Amino acid sequence: MNLRKTILIGYALTVALTASAQNTIENDSTEKVENFNFSLEECILYAIENSHQRESLRLSEEAARATYRQSKKNRLPSVSASAGESASHTGTNSDINFSGNAGVNASIPIYQGGSIKNTIKQNQLQVEKQEVQTSQYDDNLTIQILNQYLNALSCKERLNYQKGIMESSREQLARGKKRFEVGSIIESDYLLLQAQYESDKTDSLNTAISLENALLNLKQLMSMDPNAILDVQAPDTTSIDQLALLPSQEEAVQQAQEHMPDIMLAKSAIEIANTAIDIAKAGKRPQVSASAGISTRHNDFESVGEQFKNSFSQSVGINISIPIYDRGSTKLQETRSRIQQKQAELDLAQTKIDIARTVSNQHRSTLLEYQKYLAYQSKKEAYAQSFQAYKKRFEVGSLVAVELLQQQNNYINVLNEYINAKYGFILNRKILDVYTGQNIGL
């Protein structure tokens, strides 16, 4: 299911999703603060519903639809009514002469060289173009939300690991203090354990700050109140290997060229240029219209009704306008439209090349990140076992603090690389899904 279908399905559920995820809490100053706990899909739906930029694009869609509806009415007759009354005085005569008239006129286009039909078609294409631009914005917004959402998840996972490591460091410090007090380790070893504990606390604090920044960036993308409390739901990543079942690079490129709005916009530009050529050609063709009218008048206020009756007239006619020479303006307009058509065709060819390159690079990056994830997963497990072994050796006094802490730092570095590789792979995989129009849910 592509993003557009997700939006259509999720639109009706947005209110329910928000109601179920949103609670109200009160702080000490009795101010109400909104509290959200969102999945990735809920973040995207919330952003789509509340984005000011997307609302602006939606208004542009409405304006294009209004223009399209109006252009279809150009085939209908136009009707106008008129009425007038005047007074006149001539020479030295003291009499004032009054006269009046009234009428109704109508006209209808019969043939305008195809300009009405092609203008309607062009305006319809403009509506479709605006809708594709909105879809393009949705894809870009989804990628940005993916980035910050997964950044927040990686910070949460890293923070959980760091809390465990910090607790281990605290226990090591407490054990080292007792051993130092009885003289089984030297003071420098005890100070190293103390420094490591403080370093682990600092790392946890920095990660907590990074988590808050990621959530703040996510709230900004979602057009959410920055004072609202937002938490993100961690998906089940135990089956992460299923995400590695990628389509081939050629299949991914083909799917992207069928889905990505960039291709649709480039094709739309060609169609709009083609209709512009047809509209320009209409300037070379005759234009035919029909008209009809009724009118009446009076010259004074004596027997006005009789005058109106006697002066009542009807008219009907056909008007033909044949262009002969317009100083080359029609030819110039046609030439410009053909140039725009050729430019649009070049843009489409270049867009296909750009998309093929972008998707191919994304496909390779996804495979590379997965290999890094597998490597660091094995490395993490090995370093975790090694660290536990070093801890036991330190506890029985067969290892000095500097050796233990070196092994602990190695484990922490591998752990960080593992988390980076894990969420780097998920991000690259989900961006590829956005490009190819697949389900972006975790």
Percent of the chain topping pLDDT 90: 32
The pLDDT of 230-240, averaged and rounded, is: 78
pLDDT higher than 50, residue 53: yes
**Cα dihedral: 428, 432, 437, 442 (round 10):** -30
pLDDT higher than 80, residue 229: yes
Q: Which residues pair with 392 in a beta bridge?
A: none
pLDDT higher than 90, residue 85: no
Q: Are 132 and 1 in contact (CB under 8 A)?
A: no
The pLDDT of 210-224, averaged and rounded, is: 91
pLDDT higher than 50, residue 385: yes
pLDDT tens string 282-314: 888 888 888 888 988 878 777 777 777 778 888
The pLDDT of 372-388, averaged and rounded, is: 87
**Separation of alpha carbons 13 and 45, rounded Å:** 9
pLDDT tens string 157-193: 899 888 888 888 888 888 888 878 888 778 888 888 8
* Whole-number pLDDT of residue 183: 80
Q: Which two tokens stand for residue 147?
A: 């980035």
* Residue scoring higher pLDDT (66 or 398): 66
* Whole-number pLDDT of residue 116: 87
**Separation of alpha carbons 428 and 430, rounded Å:** 6
Give domain limits for the chain: 3-86+98-436
Q: Are 363 and 429 in contact (CB under 8 A)?
A: no
pLDDT higher than 50, residue 262: yes
Q: Which residues pair with 292 in a beta bridge?
A: 106, 316
- Looking only at the bridges linking them, the beta strands covering 229-232 and 287-298 are unpaired
The pLDDT of 369-380, averaged and rounded, is: 89
Mean pLDDT score across all residues of the chain: 84
pLDDT tens string 28-49: 444 566 788 888 899 999 998 8
Which range has the worst mean pLDDT, 16-25, 363-372, 398-407, 420-429?
A: 16-25
The confidence band for 84, taking pLDDT boundaries of 50, 70 and 90, is confident
The pLDDT of 322-336, averaged and rounded, is: 86
The confidence band for 22, taking pLDDT boundaries of 50, 70 and 90, is very low
Buried residues in 388-413 as b, exposed as e (16+ CB within 10 A) = eebbeebeeeebbbeebbebbeebbe
Distance of CA 379 to the CA centre of its chain: 39
**What is the CATH T-level fold of the domain 3-86+98-436, as seen in this structure?**
Outer membrane efflux proteins (OEP) (1.20.1600)
* Whole-number pLDDT of residue 91: 65
Q: Which two tokens stand for residue 298?
A: 């009076």
The pLDDT of 403-430, averaged and rounded, is: 88
Q: At what angle do helices 115-181 and 329-395 cross, to 10 degrees?
A: 10
**Cα dihedral: 202, 208, 210, 214 (round 10):** 180
* Whole-number pLDDT of residue 31: 56
pLDDT higher than 50, residue 16: no
